[in-house]
Amino acid sequence: MRVFKSLVLLFLLPVVRGSMVQLKNGGYEDIVIAINPGLPENDNIIRNIKDMVKEASSYLFNATKQRFFFKTVKIIIPLHWLPKPEYLSIKTESYDKADVIVANPFLKYGDDPYTLQYGRCGEKGRYIHFTPDFLLNDNLYNIYGPRAKVFVHEWAHLRWGVFDEYNNDAPFYVSINSGKASVEATRCSASVTGKYIVQSTTKECKYDEQTKLYEAGCKFVPNKIQNAPASIMYMQSLPSVVEFCDQSTHNEKATNMQNKMCNYHSTWEIIMNSPDFSNTSPINSTSPPYETSFSLLQTKDRVVCLVLDVSGSMAQNNRINRLYQSAEIFLLQIVEMGSWVGMTTFQSTAQIKINLQQIVSENVRQNLIKHLPTSADGGTNICEGVRKGFEMIKQKYTNLYGSEIVLLTDGEDTCMSNCLTEVEKSGSIIHTIALGPNAAPELEQFSDVTGGLKFYATDTVDSNGLIDAFSGISSGSGNISEQSIQLESTARSVAVKQWMNGTVTVDSTVGNDTFFVVTWDGITSPLDILLRDPKGKEYRTSDFTVSVLNLRTARLNIAGTAEVGDWYYWIQNNHTDSQVISMIVTSRAASLAVPPVTVKAHMNKDTNNFPNPMVIYAEVSQGFLPVLGATVMATVEPQTGSAMDLKLLDDGSGADITKNDGIYSKYFTSFKGNGRYNLKVRVQGKDKTVRLGRRQSRALYIPGYIENGEIKMNAPRPEVSDDEIQAKLGSFNRVASGGSFVVEKVPSRGTTDVFPPCKIIDLEAQYEENKIHLSWTAPGNDFDVGQAERYIIKMSESLLDLRNIFENATSVNTSSLVPNPAGTKESFQFKPENFTIENGTIIYFAICAIDNASLTSEVSNIAQAALFLPPKESSSSSVPGDKGINVLTIVLIVAGCVAAVLIAVSTAVCILHKKNRR
């Protein structure tokens, strides 16, 4: 119970998520469903979305015992669809913050509905993905069941952080029922009936001699007509299934993610311990009190206003010059073609520098950068700057709906709260950039209430923090082919006459509109630059452009599509003093048909109180498919002190809950003080080591059904070969800003060891002859960093006893077991004592790690080792019998019988022959 209480605390952790869903009196309001801008216009998509959600509302209402339903939904219509009178304007809603995305899959990966979910048990997911074919093709009913049921299955992933109750990687497990061992399908509840069928032949499955489970290709095919009412997280397609598994129906023995991640608690227990459940009461009705209402919102051209601080403090630490360099990159390279962009500045008062201009050519971009500020003076009035930005936008548009403000400031302003309500009601999205240690602490509130992005840049020049912030403000339209992608952003101090060199890989998914930008902070004369493309063509300083308005930046725009491969650069500091030199490379998609590799980085929450740990996430994907095998490094830069580098992993241990899902993770505990922190992630993929994977948390693809005794199989799920997905990816470089987060309550006198080793979540066990072999990934001294001091391993024949009273379970002698550094694969073999191992024996194991400060980790997942000897298969050469009669015995019996008959017949013939002779 202690562990379950600590698990429930995770519900209280705010997750970085753009969702604006509200729960009022049991009704979910402001759910956003966005249609991808790449889809052709089709009114049937809208109609089927409405039908699905309306039906799902009643289904959810009954499944949650009259507690929740879907009240209001917003559907975002792509810009290129023809306008209609019923289409309203978007406000702060956008495609990249939608709760549900409707988009084509990438490659031939079929139409599995799934939820992007990589938090721990009880943490909200990112979004649900439906394909248009899933919404339009009624033939998929046999595979996934009614769309409404699928939507509720995915909503449970998204909203309550529960997991699937099937497992394609471990579809079977050994179970003991009434003292008899058997192989069961991984499912919940265990009362779902069916047969074990080889999909390709429709024959009954046989046992595998190696695994002792069913053979490869074996599928559990359910009976269409069932009595089991649970569970929605297993097989929502069955007509009888109308509930989530609860304590009475939960199958804690099943080897699924729900058991592993939620400490063997049922989905209904997790839902009951959610904030949603505690904040509502059952509704005395047999149906939802309201029918779901829908509003249709159409996107429009991007409208961006830069609101830039030019107060006196911006003259310090070279901030105004860095502002110019960073904003210039945004205007020339980042903001998309077709966008409307304007600019205001503020100090004690504010002024419009240039009204909204639509970017239709390079000339417009060049005209915009002429209005960037170059001097700073006066006080700080942030509200005046924001209001002036609103005023400029309203000169062209009747309202502020869907517009964006990029607000940069380095100063404090005690009057910010005066316009917070005005900002919240405006319908505009405000992205904030806090520059330096004294930027207003209230600044992030503007982003919080409008759904904007949050960035922080220190005065440390060699971090490129300000450039990365501006580079991270791309359109939220979902049109990734138009968005700028950062391939490189690196900077360092270079001594006199020394060189800064490096390699940037341009991969096949990008290459259009490619810029190489070199910046420096010393003298205004250009550096010595040499850039060589993969075919050996060289570009020198004379090929780069240095603006007369910005003498510390050299820019090269590669004509056409940049060559695929490694680009090498050498930059020499020809100044008389050392200076910071940086290289920034941006590009766009090479083709509308092939999505580029992208990186999205963030923390698991944007505010934190010490000593709670945080988690860094980096999602690496191409289209909607995860990219596996990349090297991912995160840099966290505190407000004071030096930056920290951490390697993020996708190995299913520590902070990473699922192996090979393209979500690279790591705990962060190195807090250097109170205040803002900045996150930056660098990703490198090498050809032949990176490949694409498949999303987790999916609606189950049903192999078939048994109806009236007849087996009716569905077509196998479409698959893509490893060779195909590996060959198309190749090598790549990416850099992404993960925005900023704030930490409070860090002790001013430094910290002691308050972080235990992380929970082990990948413990596995198996019999090997007469011994038990355990394997897991080593935790650290502080969560997944460092090295633990020792392990405690317990075993029991009762899974729940091991979970509930770990301390009282039988101990395993671990005196010879010394922990390895975090991330190392551990292996331990021993012969269990005081246990009689015979056919049908199942022993459960769990492990804890203890660090050098005697801090103990949570109890691990529970692994089972089962000794199961499958019954011998019947065949034409054997006859089943209780005594196990062998073939030789049968042959001898038959031969004896035949001989006896022959003797009897011969005797009779002889007697008759003698009688006849007489």
Portion of the chain with pLDDT greater than 90, in percent = 81
Catalytic residue among 93, 123, 154, 165: 154
- pLDDT at residue 523, rounded to an integer: 77
- pLDDT at residue 400, rounded to an integer: 97
Residue 872, pLDDT > 60, answer: yes
Instruction: Work out whether the CA dihedral 885, 890, 892, 898 comes out positive or negative.
Output: positive
- pLDDT at residue 907, rounded to an integer: 57
- pLDDT at residue 2, rounded to an integer: 38
Quickly count: other Cβ atoms within 10 Å of residue 164's Cβ: 26
Residue 875, pLDDT > 80, answer: no
pLDDT, tens only, 100-140 = 999 998 777 689 999 999 899 999 999 999 999 999 999 99
Residue 874, pLDDT > 50, answer: no
- pLDDT at residue 734, rounded to an integer: 98
* Encoded tokens for 874: 């019947």
Average pLDDT value for residue range 232-255: 96
> Roughly how many angstroms between the first and final C-alpha of the chain, as a whole number?
99
Beta strands 31-35 and 100-102, pairing class: parallel
3-state secondary structure 436-492: CCCCCCCHHHHHHHHCCCEEEECCCHHHCHHHHHHHCCCCCCCCHHHCCEEEEEEEE
What lies within 8 Å, CB to CB, of 891 at 6+ separation is none
pLDDT, tens only, 239-249 = 999 999 999 99
Query: What angle (nearest 5°) sits at the alpha carbon of residue 636, between those of residues 633 and 641?
Result: 135
pLDDT, tens only, 196-220 = 999 888 899 999 988 889 999 999 9
- pLDDT at residue 398, rounded to an integer: 94
Cα dist from 430 to 303, 306, 404, 407, 618, whole Å: 12, 10, 6, 7, 24
Instruction: Work out whether the CA dihedral 226, 232, 237, 239 comes out positive or negative.
Output: positive
Residue 879, pLDDT > 60, answer: no
- For residues 272 and 178, the model is more confident at 272
Portion of the chain with pLDDT greater than 70, in percent = 92
Which of 61-75, 366-380, 680-694 has the weakest average pLDDT?
Answer: 680-694
Question: Is-catalytic flag, 154?
Answer: yes
What is the C-alpha separation between 485 and 589, in angstroms, rounded?
A: 8
pLDDT, tens only, 807-837 = 999 999 999 999 999 999 999 999 887 777 7
- pLDDT at residue 838, rounded to an integer: 76
Q: Where are the alpha helices (DSSP H) in 110-184?
A: 132-136, 141-144, 147-155
Q: What count of Cα atoms within 13 Å lies in the side-chain half-sphere of residue 812?
A: 27
Residue 755, pLDDT > 70, answer: yes
Which of 13-22, 189-198, 200-209 has the weakest average pLDDT?
Answer: 13-22
The answer to whether the CB of 853 falls within 8 A of the CB of 757 is no
Residue 913, pLDDT > 70, answer: no
What is the C-alpha separation between 206 and 29, in angstroms, rounded?
A: 50
- Using alpha carbons only, how large is the chain's radius of gyration in Å? 32
Residue 720, pLDDT > 80, answer: no
Residue 7, pLDDT > 70, answer: no
Q: What count of Cα atoms within 13 Å lies in the side-chain half-sphere of residue 375?
A: 2
pLDDT, tens only, 623-666 = 989 999 999 999 999 998 899 999 999 999 999 999 999 999 99
Residue 10, pLDDT > 60, answer: no
What's the chain's average pLDDT?
91
Residue 891, pLDDT > 60, answer: no
- pLDDT at residue 118, rounded to an integer: 87
